[in-house]
Structure 1
Amino acid sequence: MGDRQIVIGVAVLRTGQVLVARRGGPDGGWEFPGGKVEVGETDEAAGQRELEEELGLQVSVGKSFGLEEPIGEKYLLRVYFAELLAGDPVLHEHAEIRWVGPDELDALDWLVPDRPFLPVLRQQLQSG
């Protein structure tokens, strides 16, 4: 697993909801926005940079979900909680974004690597 590149997903929380993004196209689906960690970059720094690049948001990246999930042969997905500091989401790379509550998570067609993180997310949203 050591040679896999780390990909960061960021679960931005706001008043019992999480910001989720949908990739367009035939392989599209809902995911936690984020992207690849660059050499010399921490997971948290990558999450902050990617959210600014993809959605125009300033976030403070906090604790990890505590899981890692492979994406194909090359990547490993980690997801972190984050707090929104400033900005309104702007679509650069995604087809759609929305704020959803814990009851809406299952209704979305999530990308497979993101699905194992949903129970952790639901628990956090329900506990506030």
Structure 2
Amino acid sequence: MSSTLASPLPHQASAPLLVVAAALVAGEGGEARLLLQQRPLGKHHGGLWEFPGGKVEPGETPAAALARELAEELGIAVDPADLAPLTFAVHEAAASGRDLVLLLYRCHAWRGTPVAEEGAALQWVDGAALRSLAIPETMPPLDIALCITAQNLLGA
């Protein structure tokens, strides 16, 4: 059985945990910036910068999940049709855990102004700032893996 990024994905105990993230791009050419959010201190990877997003719930398509997460976390409205798959990163878990697959989507269109959830922060970054943040001290490993593709969006 095959599945596409447009189909709801099955969730089983042994299936990978699917997480979606957005490369929200504002501006064009040399003025382009990406939005990063800082994780609240009480959460896993607290204080680190990441692409906004979250987990895919059972029965959701990845694009629908990302639109929902962006509304919940940033207060913006995104049409799933405006999300374009870019790349992915995989964390292979230990024998007792689940693998994690992080899907990164490009988003150029949304309604509203992104606002950080309580305990978090937001920043718009250019290619140079993204490169400087793409280290283990400031960004989770899977987000670092996505940065090369994200930098290409900025022409960096």
Instruction: State the TM-score, normalized to the length of structure 1.
Output: 0.87
Give the residue type in structure 2 aligned to 1:124.
L
Q: RMSD of the alignment, in Å?
A: 2.0
Query: Structure 1 pair 69/12, CA: closer, same or farther in 2 (3 Å)?
Result: same
**Partner in structure 1 of residue 75 of structure 2:** 56
Q: Is the 8 A contact 2:85 2:103 kept in 1?
A: yes
Residues 71 and 85 of structure 1: CA distance in aligned 2, closer, same or farther (over 3 Å): farther
**Shift >6 Å, 4+ stretches:** none
Q: 2:139 aligns with which of 66, 86, 110?
A: 110
Offset at residue 5 of structure 1 (A): 1.6
CA deviation vs aligned residue, 1:44-100 (integer Å, no higher than 9, x gap): 111101000001011244222232322754322111111232111122255210111
Alpha-carbon contact 1:54-1:93 (below 8 Å) kept: no
The secondary structure found in structure 1 opposite 2:65 is helix
Amino acid at match of 2:130: L
Which of 29, 35, 41 is 1:19 aligned to? Answer: 35
The one of 63, 68, 89 aligned to 1:68: 89
Give the gaps of 5 or more residues in structure 1: none
Which residue in 2 is equivalent to 1:46? 65
Question: Where does residue 120 of structure 1 map in the other structure?
Answer: 149
> Which of 5, 9, 19 is the equivalent residue of 1:7?
19
Task: Please name the residue that 2:105 is paired with.
Answer: 80
Q: Does 1:97 align with 2:97?
A: no
- Mean Cα deviation higher: 8-17 or 105-114: 105-114
Task: In structure 2, list runs of 5 or more residues that go unmatched.
Answer: 1-13
The structure whose residues are more often strand, as a share, is 1
Counterpart contact for 1:8–1:36, Cα < 8 Å = yes
CA contact (8 A) 1:12 1:59 kept: no
